[in-house]
């Protein structure tokens, strides 16, 4: 199996911008995302950073070129093979991600990043539909409160439960890293 790490939307918008990640706490998830990138690089796995890009300057969030749109330093400063810009929740829609992975013979993607219930979910399902094996690192993803009766911790837990029921293997970062050794 040839694996790649796909790091979704680890952008300032989710750390210091308008959509701060609530669960798991963003500092902890950033630390684990960094650990996953370091482990992937040490194992010789390609690391692909995905960035949500809004081209409409009046959109308010993820506006191309804005400080909030920038990749967070914790991922941007680490080695990676590519940055893929997307405009929709799915990292494969309208992007070169599929061909980038195919050109490297990748048949398994490990997914980390934000938001669990939106872009992580959509990308996981797309990858599975493309015939890729998928692993989602549960503690290296995160989300926001959707509403008063859908707090982030509940959304995160339910979403990972759904993804683990036929779309992906759900693992902790430490277990995945240990499996690389």
179, pLDDT greater than 90: yes
Q: What is the pLDDT of residue 181?
A: 82
40, pLDDT greater than 90: yes
Q: Got the DSSP string for 129-154?
A: HTT-EEEEEEEEEEB---BTTB-HHH
Q: What is the pLDDT of residue 55?
A: 87
End-to-end CA distance of the chain: 15
**9, 121, 138, 139: the active-site residue:** 9
What average pLDDT does the structure give for the chain?
97
**Catalytic (active site) residue 149:** no
Q: What is the pLDDT of residue 1?
A: 83
**Catalytic (active site) residue 139:** no
Residues 3-176, CATH architecture: 3-Layer(aba) Sandwich (3.40)
Q: What is the pLDDT of residue 146?
A: 94
Q: Measuring CA to CA, which residue among 10, 22, 12, 3 is closest to residue 120? A: 10
Q: What is the pLDDT of residue 31?
A: 98
**Catalytic (active site) residue 86:** yes
Alpha-carbon gap, residue 171 to 6, rounded angstroms: 15
Q: What is the pLDDT of residue 176?
A: 98
Model confidence over 79-118: pLDDT tens digits?
999 999 999 999 999 999 999 999 999 999 999 999 999 9
Model confidence over 130-169: pLDDT tens digits?
999 999 999 999 999 999 999 999 999 999 999 999 999 9
Return the percentage of the chain with pLDDT > 70, whole number.
100
**38, 103, 119, 138: the active-site residue:** 119
Q: What is the pLDDT of residue 130?
A: 98
């Amino acid at each position: 199996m040839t694996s790649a790490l796909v790091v979704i939307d680890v952008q300032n918008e989710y750390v210091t911008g308008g959509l701060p990640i609530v669960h798991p706490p963003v500092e902890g998830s950033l630390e684990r995302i960094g650990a996953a990138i370091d482990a992937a690089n040490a194992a010789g796995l390609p690391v692909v950073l995905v960035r949500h890009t809004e081209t409409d300057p009046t959109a308010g969030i993820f506006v191309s070129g804005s400080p909030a749109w920038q990749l967070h330093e914790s991922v941007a400063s680490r080695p990676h093979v590519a940055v893929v810009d997307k405009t929709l929740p799915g990292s494969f829609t309208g992007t070169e991600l599929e061909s980038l992975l195919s050109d490297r013979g990748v048949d398994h993607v490990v997914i980390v990043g934000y938001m669990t219930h939106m872009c992580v979910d959509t990308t996981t399902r797309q990858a599975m539909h493309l015939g890729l094996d998928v692993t989602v690192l549960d503690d290296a993803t995160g989300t926001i409160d959707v509403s008063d009766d859908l707090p982030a911790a509940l959304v995160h837990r339910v979403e990972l439960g759904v993804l683990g029921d036929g779309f992906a293997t759900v693992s902790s970062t430490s277990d995945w890293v240990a499996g690389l050794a």
